[in-house]
Amino acid sequence: MGLLGRSAAIGLELDTGAVRVASVSGGSSRPALNSVGSVEIPEQAVIAGVVEDRDMVAGALRELWNKAKIGNRTVILGMSTPGMLMRSTAFPKVPEDRLEQAVHLQAGDYFPIPMNQLVMDFSVLGETETEEGAALELLMVAARREQLGKNLDCLRDAGLRCDVIDASPLVLGRNLPSDIGDETVVVADIGNGLTSLLVVDGKVPRFARVLQVSLESYADELGVPLAEIPLDGEGGPDVLGVSESWALRVSDEINSSVNYFVGQNDGASVDSLYIGGRGSRVPGLERFLVEQMDMPVQRINSAEGLANVRAKNFDPEAGGADYSVAIGLALRGLEEV
């Protein structure tokens, strides 16, 4: 089971206050969006990406499958928690048939938590040269076994099967426009409970992080439930008229991650920022980030890269942002055809 396809695939996101699903088919070259759907859940049922009310979420998933009219019950599950660990490293080059064993033997050197408490996977990004010789550029991802187990147990209760698990930040690059070329860009998905961030350099994921800032704190300042936050197209107030402090926190968290990435990669720079998730639709946020980040900022519409959109009652202007993780996860599944 991977942490990081087929002719059809289903992506599932477990967010605070909502569960979301997207079904795609047609192969990775010409994907079609067949169905999307979401069901609201109590805000304490999923906390920071981890299922805390197993019965409630399992019931919501059964309702979601009926609502979205999805027949297949095998999913690609996204994991995004503050306890998720992601490391980029240059790993000594070894024969391909020995790589997995070698990485797992040395994984403890890269993570501060005992490996028996983690589930770990890795991806080879490319090759490089170090002072010690040829090396592989690896992106290593580890999730806490206990947190992952809670989510998988809930899926089983709902009658679902998970054969692929991916770190939610890593799927965000699949939603980027095809014309970004060799640019270095940041993608931030501002969800209800957490924000997933990914730095993509020349279409290759280089750095990923889970940020604590999210729509939860904005909802608290407005004094409304997550589901009732006024968003664009709904006559919502401009974020600066309601909570400039929250908008500044979003900007500061993203800036901090960008600065860390640049500091770890001499000569690196970031060309633009793409935002997705339900939080990207907070009125005025995109304009505010342009001023604070001093770079182009654009909201992601994950439906734009699809060859066909068959999903009923789907609004690409809203759904393209809200379902960016679920659609990205489903596209991840198609890549394994």
User: In this prediction, what percent of the chain has a pLDDT beyond 70?
Assistant: 97
Q: Which two tokens stand for residue 78?
A: 């996204």
- What domains can be seen in the chain, in order of their start residue? 8-82+146-334 (3.30.420.40), 85-143 (3.30.1490.300)
What pLDDT does 179 receive?
83
Segment 292-334, tens digit of pLDDT: 998 999 998 888 878 888 888 788 877 788 999 999 999 988 8
Do residues 22 and 10 make contact, with C-beta atoms less than 8 angstroms apart?
yes
Confidence of residue 6 (pLDDT cuts 50, 70, 90): low
The residue assigned the tokens 């993608």 is 187
Confidence of residue 21 (pLDDT cuts 50, 70, 90): very high
Q: Compute CA 51 distance to the chain's CA centroid, rounded to the nearest angstrom.
A: 17
pLDDT at 3 over 80: no
Q: What count of other Cβ atoms lies within 10 Å of the Cβ of residue 115?
A: 15
What pLDDT does 236 receive?
73
Structure pTM?
0.91
The residue assigned the tokens 């006024």 is 230
Do residues 251 and 293 make contact, with C-beta atoms less than 8 angstroms apart?
yes
Listed residue (293, 291, 207, 288) closest to 247, CA to CA: 288
Q: Which residues on adjacent β-strands are paired with residue 276?
A: 189
pLDDT at 265 over 90: no
Confidence of residue 243 (pLDDT cuts 50, 70, 90): confident
pLDDT at 210 over 80: yes
Q: Rounded to an integer, what distance in angstroms lies between the CA atom of residue 159 and that of residue 60?
A: 12
Q: What count of other Cβ atoms lies within 10 Å of the Cβ of residue 178?
A: 8
Q: What is the dihedral of CA 275, 302, 50, 85, to 10 degrees?
A: -60
Confidence of residue 4 (pLDDT cuts 50, 70, 90): very low
